Structure 1
Amino acid sequence: MDQAAMTRNQELQRQWYGAPLGELCRDLCTLFAVTQSGLAEILGVSPAMLSLVMRAQRARIANPDAAARLSAVLRLAHDVRAGTVPAATARETLATIRTSRTPGQDSLGTASLPPAPPHPAPAPAHGPAQGPDPDAQFALRLRDLLNSRAGAAEILAAAALLEPDHPGLADILRTCGAGRTDEAVNLVRRLGAGRDAGARRTGP
């Protein structure tokens, strides 16, 4: 494969996952203390296939179950780093992901994720925890709703169509439907802060 095609695949991976899969998968191996072959086993693909994706000779994993597991492992990694999932339970969650199946999903595997053990939502940044974070809960519900209706590629395509006339809606689609969890939560918080400020200006 020529360099131009590999560069194009890396750019697609950035759009879908936030970074090239070579970087992300190496980070996953370090975080969870597994080899590349071990990560491939968790995802349910051959080490050779995972290597092709990491080298950007393939843009994505074609098997929908394996692609969904990759999305689940990436989300677990984010939650472990954020402290919302204890690192001690990560192995158990990885075992659950390894045996999960998501029939009918697209080849990005983003339409649904396997169930994870219950854990508290991130605490609001402006003070001590007072129960579940409503912004995080809303962002997760919105993402699950969008992902239940379309895959990441379709969501990104819809956002591109909306961008010229409705950039705000396009941003919501891209971020909440195909972006990282922290980006979606931050966007919900920004939009909520703007709504609250407008209400204060027009209130009694």
Structure 2
Amino acid sequence: MEQTAHNLQQQVDLYGEPLGEVVRRITGGLGLTQGGLAQVIGLSAPMLSQLVSAQRVKIGNPAVVSRLRAVSELTDLAVAGGIEPEHIAHELDEIRAATGAYTRPTTAHLARSATPGQPTGHASGQPAGPPERFLRPTTYPGELPPSPSARSVVREIQDLFRAVASAEEIQRAAAAVDSPAIAELLLAYGTGRTADALAHYEQHHG
């Protein structure tokens, strides 16, 4: 039990939240089984199960981490109603086929990368995916362009903190500063779970 708790905390330090929570959010949001998710991200089902139960801590392959993040972002988009349900399977196929870091194309990117006079598709010359309407319009008449999702902003901040310092270093820095607000910020984004950082962001972001 103590080892499991230690492993869970290490996952929080590495990924912002336990991998079990990430996987449950994805499987619930997209209607995938855990085995189906393992196939999409290129990991064996037993290995994913060990990560979910915190028997293992870290995903060793950066490409798998990238695909898992892409599926997580797709889940957020699907839950928010930003993608038509019938196009989710295509997106999952795109993520599954990615051999390196995966960046989900936006409709604007697809439009820019299309050859004039040709159907909109990927810049690499691969067959065109779903029509550009597979995402709901980024703006409606009279609306301002949407801001990035709060979760994506929080993850970027967490990634930045964790790229420059370890959790222990951030905790020491938080203990050393005189400002409770700054200490709270350091701990929320540098060592906290994504859910806690998101709550902090939503509380303080105007």
TM-score (norm 2): 0.61
The CA distance in 2 between the partners of 1:28 and 1:139, in whole Å, is: 14
The CA distance in 2 between the partners of 1:114 and 1:93, in whole Å, is: 11
Shift of the 144–96 alpha-carbon distance from structure 1 to 2, 3 Å rule, reads: farther
Q: Is the 8 A contact 1:29 1:39 kept in 2?
A: yes
Alignment equivalent of 2:204, drawn from 166, 183, 190: 190
Residues 105-155 of structure 1: per-residue CA shift (max 9 Å, x gap): xxxxxxxx52244457999xxxxx822234x379857855874x6756947
Q: Is 1:163 aligned to 2:174, yes or no?
A: yes
Which 4+ stretches in 1 moved above 6 angstroms?
120-123
What are the residue-to-residue correspondences of 1:1-204 with 2, within 5 Å? 3-17=1-15, 19-102=17-100, 113-118=102-107, 119=135, 130-134=143-147, 136=148, 140=152, 144=156, 147=159, 154=165, 156=167, 159-164=170-175, 165=177, 166-167=182-183, 170=186, 173-174=189-190, 179=194, 183=198, 187=201, 190-191=204-205, 193=206
Q: Is the 8 A contact 2:12 2:18 kept in 1?
A: yes
5+ residue gaps, structure 2, are 108-134
Give the number of the structure whose alpha-carbon radius of gyration is greater. Answer: 2
Residues 20-79 of structure 1: per-residue CA shift (max 9 Å, x gap): 333432442343333322211111111121111112100121111111211221222122
The CA distance in 2 between the partners of 1:86 and 1:171, in whole Å, is: 37
Shift of 1:7: 1.8
Q: Is the 8 A contact 1:13 1:20 kept in 2?
A: yes
Q: Is the 8 A contact 1:159 1:169 kept in 2?
A: no
* Cα RMSD after superposing both structures: 4.1
Shift of 1:13: 3.1
Residues 147-182 of structure 1: per-residue CA shift (max 9 Å, x gap): 4x675694756643432314265257449x9836x9
The CA distance in 2 between the partners of 1:55 and 1:159, in whole Å, is: 27
Shift of the 162–90 alpha-carbon distance from structure 1 to 2, 3 Å rule, reads: farther
Q: Is the 8 A contact 1:44 1:98 kept in 2?
A: yes
Residue identity (%): 25
The CA distance in 1 between the partners of 2:174 and 2:145, in whole Å, is: 33
The CA distance in 1 between the partners of 2:4 and 2:169, in whole Å, is: 25
Between the two proteins, the alignment pairs up a number of residues equal to: 171
Q: Is the 8 A contact 1:42 1:98 kept in 2?
A: yes
Shift of the 121–167 alpha-carbon distance from structure 1 to 2, 3 Å rule, reads: farther
- Residue 56 of structure 2: SS of its match in structure 1? coil
2:146 is aligned with what amino acid? D
5+ residue gaps, structure 1, are 104-112, 124-128, 194-204
Q: Is the 8 A contact 2:138 2:145 kept in 1?
A: yes
